């Protein structure tokens, strides 16, 4: 059962770069899917289609079997259910301190202060950042910012969590901690989709791997099968 699908999605940037060249793929509900590809393969562009930030020029995106429509109400539903952790935390974090940062999403969804408080503390605990609660976000280390960005999305309790290169520039210990955290989130029933150019990470962590190159899918399968014919 696919929670997210792309059907013949074509997308070109304004400067003429063809980032997605009629791409089709499905993300299975409850699984850990990794999109593996070099820089520029189109991974980020694909992810931005999955929560409606970008709209395909041709083709369509589906969420839970439904064709994504680009009106206010569908986009609201989509963005509540599909959370994105951006590659660069500085593009995601904008509040004065960590607590306010993580509160923003749930408050924006209309949760009460009490419900928000609970969600924020749960998210901080899970990501190991409770001690950073009152710290200004701009003074955090890169690794800390990455964890706040994950907590941001967790607090909104989406069904799918998409992470763009979540382990890029993290040291090996932080990388392992992040992957362990993601396993825990997945065990709670969340669908996870992440991108990487790290073959070993994809091989050891994914349930399903999608290989992307120059805006196209060039292979997919389980870690055991996907590299078999290379
Ligand atoms: P990946 O996430 O796999 O590194 P991207 O989706 O970021 O790939 O990029 C796909 C292609 O689109 C690349 O050729 C990239 O240079 C180009 N691209 C990405 N963002 C923009 C943009 N804002 N304007 C023009 N081209 C872009
Ligand atoms: P940074 O890389 O930002 O300096 P550290 O890697 O030094 O952060 O981690 C600081 C503390 O947070 C350590 O005690 C570490 O065990 C914990 N930690 C780091 N990453 C995670 C994570 N993804 N989930 C939970 N705890 C983490």
Sequential DSSP letters for 88-154: SGGGT--SSBHHHHHHHHHHHTT--HHHHHHHHHHHHHHHT-GGGTTSBGGGS-HHHHHHHHHHHHH
Model pLDDT for residues 147-168, shown as the tens digit of each residue? 999 999 999 999 999 999 999 9
Instruction: List, for residues 70-112, the tens digit of each pLDDT value.
Output: 999 999 999 999 999 999 999 999 999 999 999 999 999 999 9
Residues 6+ apart with CB under 8 A from 53: 84
Distance 36 CA to ligand 1 centre (A): 15
Ligand number nearest CA of 53 is: 1
Coil/strand/helix, residue 218: strand
Read off the pLDDT of each residue in 18-32 and give the average, rounded to a whole number: 98
pTM for the whole structure? 0.89
Is the CB–ligand 2 distance for residue 87 below 6 Å?
A: no
Please, which residues have CB within 8 angstroms of residue 121's CB and are 6 or more apart in sequence? 130
- What is the percent of the chain with per-residue pLDDT over 70, rounded to a whole number? 99
Q: In the structure encoding, which two tokens stand for residue 149, read together?
A: 């960005």
184 lines ligand 2 (CB under 6 A): no
Pocket probe mutation, ligand 1, options 44, 87, 162, 194, max atoms within 8 Å of Cβ: 44
pLDDT in tens, 195-214: 999 999 999 999 999 999 99
């Amino acid at each position: 059962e696919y929670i997210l699908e792309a059907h013949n999605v074509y997308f070109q940037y304004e400067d003429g770069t063809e980032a997605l060249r009629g791409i089709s793929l499905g993300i299975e509900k409850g699984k850990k899917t990794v999109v593996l590809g070099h820089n520029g393969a189109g991974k980020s562009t694909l992810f931005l289609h999955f929560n409606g930030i970008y709209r395909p020029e041709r083709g369509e995106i589906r969420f839970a079997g439904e064709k994504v429509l680009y009106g206010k109400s569908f986009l609201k539903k989509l963005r509540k259910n599909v959370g994105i952790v951006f590659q660069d935390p500085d593009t995601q974090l904008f509040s004065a301190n960590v607590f306010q940062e993580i509160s923003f999403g749930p408050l924006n969804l209309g949760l009460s202060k009490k419900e928000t408080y609970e969600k924020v503390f749960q998210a901080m605990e899970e990501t190991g950042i409770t001690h950073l609660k009152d710290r200004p976000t701009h003074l955090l280390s890169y690794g800390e910012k990455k964890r706040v960005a994950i907590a941001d999305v967790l607090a909104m309790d989406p069904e799918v969590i998409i992470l763009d290169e979540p382990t890029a520039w993290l040291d090996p210990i932080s990388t392992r901690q992040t992957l362990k955290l993601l396993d825990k989130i997945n065990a709670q029933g969340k669908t996870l989709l992440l991108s990487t150019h790290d073959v070993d990470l994809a091989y050891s962590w994914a349930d399903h791997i999608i290989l992307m190159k120059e805006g196209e899918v060039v292979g997919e399968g389980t870690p055991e099968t996907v590299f078999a014919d290379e």
